[in-house]
Structure formats: C-alpha cells, structure tokens
Amino acid sequence: MKLPDAEALCEQLAAELRPRIGPKSAMVGLYTGGAWLAERLHSTLGLSTPLALMDIAFYRDDYAARGLKHDPKRTKIPFDVNGAELLLVDDVLYSGRTVRAAMNELFDYGRPASIALVVLADRGGRQLPICAQHVGARVQVPAGMRLTLQRADSGKLALALESERAA
C-alpha cells in the first residue's frame, strides 16, 4: 500500500500551525518519532522558546504488565510550562495512551494554558477519549502492522509499515 509522503505532510502541518503561533507558544516532542517531527516543525516555524523533548517511559500505563522500557531518554523541558500554550507533537496517533501519559507528565512540570495535539498520521483505533487538533494524514493500517516514522541519515523523514511482532 502507498503511504503519504512525510516530508509533504511536515510542510502542510507547518503551514497549518503558523497562524496559531504566539508569544506563549512552546513545542514538546515525544521520543522518538515525535521528537524528529518536533525538531523539524520547531525550526521551520522558528519558535522562540527552546524545544522540549519527552520520554513518557515513567508514565506508561503498561508498566505493570511489561516492565520498564530499556534506555528511557531523559525528558528535557527547558521552559516554564505554567501558562504556556503547548503544541504536543507525536508521529503516529493510535490508542491515545501515549498522549495520556504525556499529559500526565506535563502536568508534573506545571499547569499549561492549553495543549494542542499535533500528529503526522492518525491511524484510528483510539482506546481513550483523545483527538488531535492538527493531523497530517489519516492512514489505514492493516491488522498486525505498525505505522512508524523513520529518519534517514540525511534527515529525511518517511512513514513505514512494519510487523507488530518485529517491534
């Protein structure tokens, strides 16, 4: 099946986000794919606040069943979350559990004025009442497959399908 072009979706998202960027806007990317996308959007939009990167490993709801993820990255939020208008960026929106975990973690840093969710691809299948405000594309994913974002050495972003078992 043909997947949308991630580079084109990045441009489309940046154009869509530009009108809502204000002095209190700040961006948070979720490791790993969301961080790549956030790096791209953050530089394209020229946000003045530094980019925040989050690993939600310590907030996952499947810790009891699956244990702690190997090598969680260190969350770095280099601005005051209180009162910020946050753009929370992830690559693929699926069950919504990652976003819930991310919001829980964000609120341990402060009380943002607002959070808007930005994703490159929405594959449906929500298990929680969460929706994205800015979606690059809606993508149908065959059962048993995962939709992931990949980054080439050149920095070029691309969507890919892989077997869930391989992950």
Partner 1 sequence: MQRNPQLNANGELQHLLSIEGLPREILLQILDTAESFAGVTEREVKKVPLLRGKSVFNLFFEPSTRTRTTFEIAAKRLSADVINLNIAVSSATKGESLLDTVANLSAMQADIFVVRHASSGAPFLIARHVKPHEHVVNAGDGRHAHPTQGLLDLYTIRHYKKDFTRLVVGIVGDVLHSRVARSLIHGLTTLGVPEVRVIGPQTLMPLGVEGLGVRVFNDMRAGLKDCDVVVMLRLQNERMRGALLPSAQEFFKHYGLTEDKLAAARNDAIVMHPGPMNRGVEIDSTVADGPHSVILPQVTFGIAVRMAVMSIVAGN
> Which stretches of the chain bind partner 1, using CB under 8 A?
55, 57-59, 63-64, 66-68, 70-77, 104-105, 108-110
Residue 40 CA to residue 38 CA, distance in Å, equals 5
- Distance in Å, CB of 44 to partner 1, minimum: 27
- Distance in Å, CB of 53 to partner 1, minimum: 11
Please provide residue 4's backbone torsions phi and psi, each rounded to the nearest 5 degrees: -65, 155
- For residue 42, the number of C-alpha atoms closer than 13 Å in the C-beta half-sphere is 21
Closer to partner 1 by CB, 69 or 151: give it. Answer: 69
Closer to partner 1 by CB, 62 or 162: give it. Answer: 62
- Distance in Å, CB of 23 to partner 1, minimum: 23
122 and 132 Cβ atoms separated by less than 8 Å: yes
Tell me what percent of the chain is helix, strand and coil, each rounded to the nearest 5.
Answer: 30, 30, 40
Closer to partner 1 by CB, 1 or 64: give it. Answer: 64
Closer to partner 1 by CB, 71 or 153: give it. Answer: 71
Residue 99 CA to residue 117 CA, distance in Å, equals 8
- Distance in Å, CB of 86 to partner 1, minimum: 16
